[in-house]
Amino acid sequence: MRIGIIGGMSFESTLHYYEQINRQVNERAGGLTSADLVLRSVNFEEYHQLMEVGDWEEIAHRLSFEALDLVLKNRCDYVAIATNTMHKVADEVLGPHEVVNNVVWPSTSTWIDVPLVHIGDCIADECKKVGAKRVLLLGTKFTMTEDFMKALLGTHDIEVMDTSNYPEEIDEINRIIFEELCHGIVTSESKEFMMNFVYQFPADSDLRPDAIVLGCTELNMILEPDDVDIPLIDSTQAHIDKLVELCLS
């Protein structure tokens, strides 16, 4: 199967996707086998500016075009968006579209099947493996405060803890992601901050999550399984594992 990946958001995590998908495919298939994939790396600065002004309609339009391009021009069997936050518009990317003069338009009559491998479904699969029914979701401000990922996990009977009482901490996690991790920067101060936030939910508390979800594709740069004493679910690795399975199917 050929996988189409929309990446570059950020390029740091996309590098990890490309390397790990090929490495795992080769380990499982042997020889000189590598993944049959097409990588479309976009300019994240353009998307980040749209995010800052809340123009998600334009983001959905652009991602729809990229997804359709991977399917129609590159004959990809599956498409993945290599970032959590952009799954805010996953339903629009999956919806009906038509292409007129190289422009994507919403359509109620013309369906083009875009099989998107949703990162939220991959997270849910990992939650089920460790028996996690209640999770602490970490990610960008969009992921932590809006409902798109919470609702998706809810369809799998997984509850996301309410972190609305931590606005300053959410802002700082958002800053760490965009100002540091997206640039490949990991500082001891930021790691300590993340650890302190996670350990606000002690083992003897009713607020204790069953697992911590790294709901941002860069967060595995700063938090590792050995850093916590409960399951740590890495959305990036969960997504990669599913894409490897599809590559080999």
Q: Are 67 and 147 members of one domain?
A: no
| C-alpha distance from residue 161 to each of 14, 131, 153, 200 (Å) | 28, 16, 11, 13
Q: Are 97 and 30 members of one domain?
A: yes
Q: Are 21 and 108 members of one domain?
A: yes
Domain extent, residue 87, equals 3-118+239-248
Q: Are 71 and 125 members of one domain?
A: no
Token pair listed for 68: 């359709």
Q: Are 131 and 163 members of one domain?
A: yes
The whole-model pTM stands at 0.90
Q: Are 214 and 220 in contact (CB under 8 A)?
A: yes
Higher pLDDT, 184 or 208: 184
Q: Are 58 and 83 members of one domain?
A: yes
User: For residue 111, what pLDDT is reported?
Assistant: 47
Q: Are 114 and 125 members of one domain?
A: no
Using one digit for the tens of pLDDT, what is the confidence trace for 142-151? 999 999 999 9
User: For residue 98, what pLDDT is reported?
Assistant: 54
CA 22, CA 16: separation in Å to the nearest integer?
10
Give the strand pairing for 37-41 and 78-81. Answer: unpaired
User: For residue 108, what pLDDT is reported?
Assistant: 43
CA 52, CA 75: separation in Å to the nearest integer?
33
Q: Are 109 and 140 members of one domain?
A: no
User: For residue 114, what pLDDT is reported?
Assistant: 62
Token pair listed for 37: 């994939």
Q: Are 223 and 164 members of one domain?
A: yes
Task: Give percent of the chain above pLDDT 70.
Answer: 90
Q: Are 148 and 217 members of one domain?
A: yes
Which of 33-37, 90-94, 141-145, 234-238 shows the lowest per-residue confidence on average (mean pLDDT)?
Answer: 90-94
pLDDT exceeds 70 at position 248: yes
Using one digit for the tens of pLDDT, what is the confidence trace for 191-217? 999 999 998 876 656 678 999 999 999
Residue 138 CB: number of other CB atoms within 10 A? 25
**Counted domains in the chain:** 2
- Return mean pLDDT, the chain: 90
Using one digit for the tens of pLDDT, what is the confidence trace for 109-130? 444 566 889 999 999 999 999 9
User: For residue 52, what pLDDT is reported?
Assistant: 94
Q: Are 105 and 175 members of one domain?
A: no
CATH number at residue 200: 3.40.50.1860
Partners of residue 106 on adjacent β-strands: 97
CA 247, CA 77: separation in Å to the nearest integer?
9
- For tokens 């740091």, the residue is 12
CA 2, CA 60: separation in Å to the nearest integer?
23
User: For residue 148, what pLDDT is reported?
Assistant: 94
Most confident segment among 15-19, 63-67, 228-232: 15-19
Q: Are 85 and 12 members of one domain?
A: yes
